[in-house]
Amino acid sequence: MAAVRRRMIGVLNRLSTYSSTHVGFSTLSHRREAVYSICHKCAVLAVSCSSVRPEVGGQRHLLANNYQCLSLGNKMEMSQDSWSLPPQQGLYDPQNEKDACGVGFIVSIDGTRSHKIVRDAEKLAMRMNHRGACACDNDTGDGAGVLTAIPHNYYFHELREQHSIDLPPFRQYATGIFYLDKIHHADCEAQFTKIAEECNLKVLYWRTVPTNSAGIGEVARSGEPFMRQVFLVPSSPVPEEELQKQVFVLRKRATHKIPKPGVRFYICSLSNTTVIYKGQFTSDQLWRYFT
């Protein structure tokens, strides 16, 4: 056992040569490093589990500026970089620090519909690009999306001109985008249509969402879903509140009944008022992907 321990310590010493006294792990933002480090005792325990991670018993050991492992009390060196957190004092505890994604809201106070709101949202999202992480290919984001009121005029003209289908007035139908796969999507859509009928809803049309994957990362492209959009109408005229209840029940039932191993099925949104466009993008890729 002592020999194994000596070999582990030797590995750690070699690791420290490359890590400048600590091993950094990226946060949600890939442009800076977290202050998590591995103390000598912790790292030995981690390596014994074949995982060089700053965790023991599932808990990270955060090192404050006093160079002390707050969990085990082991003294060790740590660089005084600008991203280091201050030591625990008073009601402040650096272990409670967390990074978060950026969120922004843009509305028209008077309720006037305008494409400018979407363009302003694009600027807002792109200016928060630093809030998102990036994969090892340096071009795959950890996710970005936009929720907007259903663009009724666009959908109305698109379905009429391209597919000879007339949509009902706004708020009298529901729509949503689904993540499917090309092999099983027809079967999933058939199951969803059947469940919709059980909820007194009728599928008006399935539409393939126009996309352009040329600008997304390799990792995102390898797992890119087949995006389909559904349009639903009530089987018989109902008040809007009843339509919303039917759509809610449909989504819950479909989410529990349709997914199974090897079959991709995920509902991004399903509503009679809003629609969500999202994916594994950086915030600037989002606006170029959906065409």
Dump pLDDT digits (tens) for 232-275. Answer: 999 999 999 999 999 999 999 999 999 998 899 999 999 999 99
pLDDT at 140: 87
- pLDDT band at residue 219 under the 50/70/90 scheme: confident
| Average pLDDT rounded to a whole number, residues 26-47 | 33
C-beta separation of 64 from 85 below 8 A: yes
* Whether residue 106 sits in one domain with residue 199: no
In a domain, 131, yes or no: yes
In a domain, 215, yes or no: yes
User: Residue 135: which domain range?
Assistant: 33-51+99-150+274-290
pLDDT at 100: 60
| Average pLDDT rounded to a whole number, residues 157-169 | 95
* Whether residue 146 sits in one domain with residue 278: yes
Q: Which of 144, 175, 179, 150 is nearest to 266 (CA)?
A: 179
Q: Is the pLDDT of residue 40 over 60?
A: no
Q: Is the pLDDT of residue 139 over 90?
A: no
* Whether residue 105 sits in one domain with residue 213: no
C-beta separation of 63 from 69 below 8 A: yes
Q: Is the pLDDT of residue 59 over 60?
A: no
Is 101 catalytic? The answer is yes
* Whether residue 266 sits in one domain with residue 177: yes
Please provide residue 105's backbone torsions phi and psi, each rounded to the nearest 5 degrees.
Answer: -130, 135
* Whether residue 39 sits in one domain with residue 133: yes
What distance lies between CA 285 and its chain's CA centroid? 14
pLDDT at 2: 52
C-beta separation of 247 from 170 below 8 A: no
- Number of folded domains that form the chain: 2
Q: Which of 42, 101, 134, 136 is catalytic?
A: 101
- pLDDT band at residue 64 under the 50/70/90 scheme: very low
pLDDT tens readout for residues 125-137: 888 887 777 877 7
In a domain, 86, yes or no: no
In a domain, 228, yes or no: yes
* CATH number, position 185: 3.30.70
